[in-house]
Structure 1
């Protein structure tokens, strides 16, 4: 169930171009060296008396110099050898642009600094001298200044291209880091004071600002012409104005760049109103926002990879921003509508006095709310309650914080009274309580990308009694009435109100039904034969948990819709339902056996760069369902290296293979806890109907479907058959497991959420393992014989260990999310 990272080598290119951003500053002088005085000969002609020769000590000055010289020589040879091996290992640049950002500081403030540097000419001459005298001099052609601008950090940015022409035969000696290494080695630094400022041809260089990236110079060039306004430069100095950005086309291609520059000392807020692009995970179409004027990967603020009409706004960390819109193959309308504003920099800190009142009295938020907050920001709040018996309660909307582990935090980290916590997004609210009248809280934003805005309500609570009398405290911190506990409804969102409840099996004999108890005519089939719902004349009131028939009669969703039985008189509950109903008889991964060919027609093997990596399930002609953790990381989230193998029994003998067009990872996926571990994959080519005997979709469960412990299900896959195995099984394996009661599952692992369920055998021996991730947990419904995708292989402690069952993503909690992208399942 764990995954391995795979590195993909890049291809050599004939022409390699480097881009260097430079920022200029005053240099420190270099101390002149001093020579030791030469020894003088004795004066006079008298010959000195011959003295007996004394044996010179080994550690005299001359020997020390010789040993030191030999040591330096060996060190130099070793360093060059390691550098050569490093260059050979790095390989070639995958593209024609190596971008280097090098920061200089200003010589003086004011408008004259541009003239002082001659619009970047001085920097250009310095860089030109570096590479014409380097080992790459015969490949170096020129450097061209692209932009000169001031920024808020007291520096002058000079962006320019560096052009190299490298034959294929010499490509192995050229790499991105080599270009940067030559420049770094040319910067003279002071060893004495260990400052980060060095000198390059008389210009003071900030060594900490050197950044290296790879890309394509063609990405920075407009291909449709300036007449369509696709490459524009905006300088904004009015705080009250909105500057529009609009571009659209119905055919051809768009490669647009908008350079946004605000007056020094201010920031830029970009608001996206609508984006029309092809949704393909930014492989071809994308809207990328950079925190600089050049398309450097290290300065990406955010990327939009699918069409949207929801207003989103982003704030720069400087007075510069680049908006790059790319749609090289327009199939329908493509374009953006947006505007940007100049805003002052805000300090995110406050002291809050909390009153003794019931409920929440105020709000705090992330910087520049409701905009996405920028990376590397920090907020500080100091809370104080009116009484020492009162603590501080924080109610997060769609967010939660948990104790920080050894791993880093994907969505910022919090420091609360010297305790560290990680933040993560989710689909419901949580409450965090600080049991102290004084709370010092700091939010440290993510250092990588802009993140979703946060809104937090605050209030006080009685430290000795977190929830009012007669209420139950959920594990998320919420308080719900005690009467709502163990009622079968997930009032706590995380199902903690339904844990550790004694489940009574309903009495379905005739005498009990005559009493018209709570089991009768409630829209839920409690008895397996459905006798409690027979001869009902009373309809169920419609609410958000029911399915509405065409004649306005309502039934509970988990029992009425697509269950193989017509509950609605007009049959509307079973319309549009299409998935596998029956299979051939099975025999009975770890503890499993070989399957029969065609036995699990929805089983998919996902290959990354040609190797089996994860599993998935067919849910429609074009869509698969898998686990989010299979695609965690920049390389794995790119659909280009992935292929889906359908109708396969033995690895390598698939009946149908399709490249993956799009990967949609759940927006709340948490890589630390594996919560929301679900992802959708869209195939580039739909599988043909002629293969429907070997390829069939599995049914999606009704939303909110409840499963009972002890129910028998099947887990399948080509993963490892033992925890110590080095490779997976060549033949598709199957193992029968049983669903584990959620209470037992929580007591085993402790971090089980309502989006997870456990399955296996408590004695071990039958389980999923590495390589099975993303594959199906298939359960057959007794009423109609349909197979339901109850779970997705997610994680677990080892493989097949006693008392540690496998943990699966509970699919019934994601039905609305799935139908958002695959409406044909509705």
Structure 2
């Protein structure tokens, strides 16, 4: 095709030249002897008599002539193009051609008997079988749509399990230019492999044939991996070890040290078929870094496959704990930088638990049930059944959990445990309080199955009988959590039920300022004079019994005053209420920026520089994604949903912009060292929507006028009508807006009662609060997530972080306030990490 086109172009060129020549001859006219003609002859004769240039001058003259000059310029341009093309090939195209894409995979070959020699990669038996399987896998991809990109397949391990046959672990490598990287996506590679398995129509089983190789279709799993995972598992790695636990209960020690230098290790654990592996971690000394530089990842396979992660340890471990595999293999991937760092532990083979327990529940006698493998972490796959029986049909079974709750299954799957109680399906989830699950049947059967993607926290429950017709004792109120509280404690301002079911839908209490009965706790020592005689704000420093609505001093004693923290008055005898109060005081900075009202975000106005020194803009891969608040010189607080996806949880992609009024004008840009998402965060309900971010380096003290922490409220902190509350951020100005404002926006809002909030939005937990205005004209929106809802104490007091932008029904809709994470519910959790 190309040769024919060149010949045509050549013929066409020659034809054009002939036509030009013919045209020039035809245009020649007969020369007529005129005066001009005579002058031209004289000039030509004169030029012939001039001396011709010699040497360099002659060469220069020839070169500077127009035809020669054109040739020189053409040659120079040609040379420059050749050089540029060579540089592009060396630095761009060649680099792209050498870019590798790597995959780890596994599948089970049925009808092949496993022999012990397959555990040794150097054995003749391993080499023979691995060679055959490798040849089959290579042939599949050599005739596929990605054949030109395929490089090689390497069989890494052959293992066995209780299903029989041989479990194959393998690597695959592709050489892919960056521009074509999508052509070898993870789903594409697995689809090619699966399509090559022709399912037998005779036996109609899950075993098909891959070029004559019987493959279990259900066992196929292929994951994309990093180049570092591929290279660290090879011969060039500092340590690749294999350990085998043959006898059940035999403890095999496992210790790794990095005092001699950086460590990148893969340790492969195997136990006898039909058994599981229990890994016990005694201690793990590392620098917390979200597993970027230091960490340990345990896989439910012999290769570092993302889809088989059991557990990740990114922080130091001082208390012993254990985790369990779902088969007889486990891979430990260590990463430890230079320093005095170490791992100590052991592993053992254990029997697979398929427990079925029958229990007779006697009145006034309680017992315990435990999660499978308790106290080890729950593996992704496990199973238990409990059968209960009470002596009377009037008595049911009550299960009281410490940190777990059962709710009817909805559209979404069960993320943290699948339960079947008398043919009704429930989903389990983790919470930070006690719950009671009642079964109104005297002989129920309870079935539990693990359903977490990775290892989950264990649970335990106390079981007892209860009166089905009267679940709670007399004069007690039945909470939605299943707990029973005294009726006298209902509507007292204290969340006794742990879900506010005893505090919502309560009528507004009367201010009994002069009566004989005591004042309602809602009005006592809240910092606002509710009674004309001021009796509600007297004796506020008097010590009292401790509760969530009373301020607790560092000494452990409690006082009536709710908002004692950093109010400028020494209320505690140990003066702890005024300690650590370098927060919530914006400096008086000259107002700059755009005039108010030019850029409005759901009723917001432009802020001025230094007005919100704790406001942070979080950027993911260089783009605004969420907001945050400054807690200290190296800690920020934000919303957990900002980091809920896998890639979003990697701190290396994030940067924090501090002391900024206009996007792009930050006074300090900090890298993130690690992200701590609350362990009970629920991505479906947004409950426990809070996360902490640790900076790699503290922001310099010289920035303190423009960068400053916000004050953390104690659990007793109460926001009254006298507080001024403002939500801030760079989020969108309306629900349909597509352009983000450049200047930090602020909108003043009011706290909405929890009763009204639940009426408007429904699923609002006690760890959430609502704020906005009835018209919906002032609200947070997309891009504001994780940012602060700050409230100022009366009398131009300090600003406290009351809420974190979490979720809402649209932006700025009437009677649909925004929902915020209630920060005073997490104060102790925050201090446990940043102190």
Is 1:278 aligned to 2:298, yes or no?
A: no
Count of residue pairs the alignment pairs up: 724
State the shift of 1:197 in Å: 2.0
Partner of 1:60: none
In structure 2, do the counterparts of structure 1 residues 112 and 767 end up closer, same or farther at CA, with 3 Å as the change threshold? Answer: closer
Is 1:555 aligned to 2:562, yes or no?
A: no
Question: 2:791 & 2:677 partners in 1: Cα distance?
Answer: 24
Partner of 2:219: 209
Choose from 158, 162, 183 the match for 1:148. Answer: 158
Q: Are 1:758 and 1:807, in contact at CA under 8 Å, matched by a contact in 2?
A: yes
Q: Are 1:415 and 1:441, in contact at CA under 8 Å, matched by a contact in 2?
A: yes
Q: Are 2:98 and 2:175, in contact at CA under 8 Å, matched by a contact in 1?
A: no
Partner of 2:246: 237
Question: 1:209 & 1:504 partners in 2: Cα distance?
Answer: 63
Choose from 775, 795, 817 the match for 1:763. Answer: 775
Partner of 1:715, secondary structure, is strand
In structure 2, do the counterparts of structure 1 residues 664 and 385 end up closer, same or farther at CA, with 3 Å as the change threshold? Answer: same
Q: Are 2:543 and 2:560, in contact at CA under 8 Å, matched by a contact in 1?
A: no
Question: 2:182 & 2:433 partners in 1: Cα distance?
Answer: 52
Choose from 332, 340, 363 the match for 1:333. Answer: 340
Measured on the aligned residues, the alpha-carbon RMSD in Å equals: 3.6
In structure 2, do the counterparts of structure 1 residues 607 and 548 end up closer, same or farther at CA, with 3 Å as the change threshold? Answer: closer
- Could you tell me which runs of 5 or more consecutive residues in structure 1 were left unpaired when the two chains were aligned: 1-90
In structure 2, do the counterparts of structure 1 residues 177 and 430 end up closer, same or farther at CA, with 3 Å as the change threshold? Answer: closer
Is 1:407 aligned to 2:417, yes or no?
A: no
Partner of 2:331: 322
Is 1:746 aligned to 2:755, yes or no?
A: no
Partner of 2:424: 419
Question: 2:262 & 2:830 partners in 1: Cα distance?
Answer: 31
Question: 1:470 & 1:94 partners in 2: Cα distance?
Answer: 72
State the shift of 1:462 in Å: 2.1
Partner of 2:640: 628
In structure 2, do the counterparts of structure 1 residues 163 and 490 end up closer, same or farther at CA, with 3 Å as the change threshold? Answer: closer
Is 1:126 aligned to 2:136, yes or no?
A: yes
Q: Are 1:520 and 1:533, in contact at CA under 8 Å, matched by a contact in 2?
A: no
State the shift of 1:111 in Å: 5.9
Partner of 2:797: 785
Partner of 2:361: 354
Choose from 646, 650, 661 the match for 1:638. Answer: 650
In structure 2, do the counterparts of structure 1 residues 241 and 102 end up closer, same or farther at CA, with 3 Å as the change threshold? Answer: closer
Partner of 2:473: 468
Q: Are 1:624 and 1:682, in contact at CA under 8 Å, matched by a contact in 2?
A: yes
State the shift of 1:521 in Å: 14
Question: 2:431 & 2:683 partners in 1: Cα distance?
Answer: 13
Choose from 564, 569, 574 the match for 2:568. Answer: 564
State the shift of 1:628 in Å: 0.8
- For the pair shown, the structure with the greater C-alpha radius of gyration is 2
In structure 2, do the counterparts of structure 1 residues 682 and 507 end up closer, same or farther at CA, with 3 Å as the change threshold? Answer: same
Question: 1:788 & 1:227 partners in 2: Cα distance?
Answer: 51
Is 1:695 aligned to 2:702, yes or no?
A: no
Counterparts of residues 315-714 of structure 1 (less than 5 Å): 315-327=324-336, 329-330=337-338, 332-355=339-362, 357-358=363-364, 361-446=366-451, 448-504=453-509, 527=529, 539-540=543-544, 547-548=552-553, 554-555=558-559, 558-568=562-572, 571-582=575-586, 589-708=601-720, 711-714=723-726
In structure 2, do the counterparts of structure 1 residues 335 and 438 end up closer, same or farther at CA, with 3 Å as the change threshold? Answer: same
Question: Which deviates more from structure 2 when the two are superposed, residues 236-245 or residues 708-717?
Answer: 708-717
Counterparts of residues 60-209 of structure 1 (less than 5 Å): 96-108=101-113, 118-130=128-140, 143-162=153-172, 174=184, 176=186, 179-180=189-190, 183-190=193-200, 194-209=204-219
Partner of 1:657, secondary structure, is strand
Partner of 2:377, secondary structure, is coil
In structure 2, do the counterparts of structure 1 residues 555 and 107 end up closer, same or farther at CA, with 3 Å as the change threshold? Answer: same
State the shift of 1:248 in Å: 2.0
Choose from 303, 309, 318 the match for 1:294. Answer: 303
TM-score (norm 2): 0.79
State the shift of 1:422 in Å: 2.4
Partner of 2:736, secondary structure, is coil
State the shift of 1:644 in Å: 1.4
State the shift of 1:135 in Å: 6.8
Partner of 1:467, secondary structure, is coil
Question: Which deviates more from structure 2 when the two are superposed, residues 592-601 or residues 411-420?
Answer: 411-420
Partner of 2:261: 252
Question: 2:664 & 2:178 partners in 1: Cα distance?
Answer: 34
State the shift of 1:818 in Å: 0.7
Question: 1:223 & 1:149 partners in 2: Cα distance?
Answer: 17
Compare the two structures and name the one with the higher helix fraction. Answer: 2
Question: 1:224 & 1:127 partners in 2: Cα distance?
Answer: 20
Question: 2:763 & 2:389 partners in 1: Cα distance?
Answer: 32
State the shift of 1:437 in Å: 3.3
Choose from 309, 312, 335 the match for 2:318. Answer: 309
Q: Are 1:189 and 1:198, in contact at CA under 8 Å, matched by a contact in 2?
A: yes
Partner of 1:5: none
Q: Are 1:565 and 1:784, in contact at CA under 8 Å, matched by a contact in 2?
A: no
Q: Are 1:377 and 1:444, in contact at CA under 8 Å, matched by a contact in 2?
A: yes
Partner of 1:496, secondary structure, is coil
State the shift of 1:131 in Å: 5.2
By relative contact order (CA 8 Å, sep 6+), the higher-ranking structure is 1
Partner of 1:718: 730
Question: 1:133 & 1:743 partners in 2: Cα distance?
Answer: 65
Question: 1:753 & 1:733 partners in 2: Cα distance?
Answer: 28
State the shift of 1:665 in Å: 0.7
Question: 1:171 & 1:734 partners in 2: Cα distance?
Answer: 43
Partner of 1:497, secondary structure, is coil
Question: How big is each residue's C-alpha offset from its partner over 1:263-295, in whole Å with a ceiling of 9 and x where there is no partner?
Answer: 112111111122222212222222111112222
In structure 2, do the counterparts of structure 1 residues 530 and 639 end up closer, same or farther at CA, with 3 Å as the change threshold? Answer: farther
Question: 1:465 & 1:716 partners in 2: Cα distance?
Answer: 49
Question: 2:439 & 2:538 partners in 1: Cα distance?
Answer: 52
Question: 1:464 & 1:499 partners in 2: Cα distance?
Answer: 25
In structure 2, do the counterparts of structure 1 residues 203 and 491 end up closer, same or farther at CA, with 3 Å as the change threshold? Answer: same
Question: Which deviates more from structure 2 when the two are superposed, residues 219-228 or residues 732-741?
Answer: 219-228
Q: Are 2:723 and 2:793, in contact at CA under 8 Å, matched by a contact in 1?
A: no
State the shift of 1:155 in Å: 2.2
Question: 2:477 & 2:790 partners in 1: Cα distance?
Answer: 35
Partner of 2:814, secondary structure, is coil
Partner of 1:262: 271
